[in-house]
């Protein structure tokens, strides 16, 4: 009898857990404490390097599998960026760095804020919670104000991306670096038509209603034209090939690491 009872309880817990999981996924996991999320999504198939969680899977997003981490909400390309920041930059070395973070990711912002050696500035045109409201083509900071810039999934929204990139170059101190990530098709050239303003046409052609282009491999040329020395980092530069699936990395993603000489 005792055995049957405990078996029933286990089934009940499992059913409740599934129901709770579905609800959490539907409503979003942001408000739940990290400890609870780590327990809910625990597994051993995947590992998120941002929040250091071992989980069953990364969640799908926009028709793509294995994108966001259910614990910290880091997207696939953000996990790659995190590994690049850890392995290829001085961001975590402990030396004083003034970092400008555009459109701060919820997975990164609280982690950057905890780093005492960072003089951390967040900025965005629309998000009210950032420290500085700014248009990236009218950067309000003086020349050489920052040692580092992090700017992911922003440039594809900006009609005059050359101006914005030049402005990022200007506000960086010599020896500083910027990391850019954009939705990109590395086998194609940039598809751009600034005369298209219909959100439906933009969505179909550029992947989202408010994107003004779909970048291709020549994004690197635009970065060089702004003055940067560009290095491309891909999953194989930061993790062994047999770890890509566990870390939820994709060969479609590229991190552009741009140095100001």
The residues binding Zn ion (CB under 5 A) are 48, 50-51, 69, 71-72, 74
Q: Which is nearer to Zn ion, 105 or 220 (CB)?
A: 105
Q: Taking the complex as a whole, how short is the minimal distance between the CB of residue 68 and Zn ion, in angstroms?
A: 8
CA separation for the pair 89, 17 (Å, rounded): 40
Query: From the CB of 124, what's the least distance to Zn ion, in Å?
Result: 22
Looking up tokens 């003055």 gives: 227
User: Considering beta carbons, is residue 58 or 219 the nearer one to Zn ion?
Assistant: 58
| C-alpha to C-alpha distance for 172 and 108, rounded to whole angstroms | 21
Whether 58 and 68 have beta carbons less than 8 Å apart is answered as: yes
The distance of closest approach from Cβ of residue 167 to Zn ion in the complex, given in angstroms and rounded to an integer, is 31
Partnered with residue 215 across adjacent β-strands are 184
16/245 with CB nearer Zn ion: 245
Residue 218 makes CB contacts below 8 A (sequence gap 6+) with 189, 190
Which residue's CB is nearer to Zn ion, number 78 or number 122?
Answer: 78
Sign of the C-alpha dihedral computed for residues 147, 148, 154 and 157 taken in this order: positive
Q: CB 252 → Zn ion: shortest distance, Å?
A: 19
Q: Is 66 left (phi over 0), alpha (psi -120 to 50) or beta?
A: left
- Considering the complex, state which of residue 67 and residue 103 has its C-beta at the smaller distance from Zn ion: 67
Residue 38: φ, ψ to 5°: -60, -40
Pick the closer one to Zn ion by CB: 101 or 211.
Answer: 101
In 3-state terms, what secondary structure has residue 138? coil
CA 175, 179, 189, 161 torsion-angle sign: negative
Considering the complex, what minimum distance in angstroms separates the CB of residue 241 from Zn ion? Answer: 21
Whether 140 and 92 have beta carbons less than 8 Å apart is answered as no
Residue 30 Cβ vs Zn ion, minimum distance, rounded to whole Å: 12
């Amino acid at each position: 009898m005792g055995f049957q009872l405990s078996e029933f309880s286990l089934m009940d817990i499992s059913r409740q857990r599934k129901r709770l999981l579905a609800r959490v996924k539907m409503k979003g996991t942001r408000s739940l404490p990290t400890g609870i999320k780590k327990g809910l999504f625990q597994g051993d198939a995947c590992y998120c390097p941002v929040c250091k969680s071992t989980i069953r899977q990364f969640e799908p997003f926009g028709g793509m599998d294995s994108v966001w981490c259910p614990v910290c909400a880091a997207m696939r390309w953000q996990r790659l960026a995190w590994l690049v920041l850890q392995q290829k930059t001085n961001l975590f070395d402990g030396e004083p760095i003034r970092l400008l973070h555009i459109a701060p990711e919820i997975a990164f912002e609280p982690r950057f804020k905890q780093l005492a050696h960072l003089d951390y500035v967040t900025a965005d045109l629309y998000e009210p919670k950032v420290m500085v409201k700014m248009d990236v083509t009218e950067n309000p900071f003086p020349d050489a104000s920052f040692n580092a810039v992090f700017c992911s999934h922003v440039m594809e929204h900006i009609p005059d991306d050359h101006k914005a990139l030049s402005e990022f170059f200007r506000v960086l101190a010599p020896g500083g670096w910027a990391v850019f990530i954009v939705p990109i098709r590395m086998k194609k050239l940039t598809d751009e038509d600034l005369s298209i303003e219909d959100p439906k046409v933009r969505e179909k052609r550029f992947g989202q209603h408010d994107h003004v282009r779909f970048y291709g491999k020549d994004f690197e040329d635009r970065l060089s034209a702004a003055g940067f020395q560009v290095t491309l980092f891909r999953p194989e530069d930061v993790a062994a090939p047999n770890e890509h699936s566990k870390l939820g990395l994709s060969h479609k993603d590229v991190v552009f690491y741009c140095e100001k000489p």
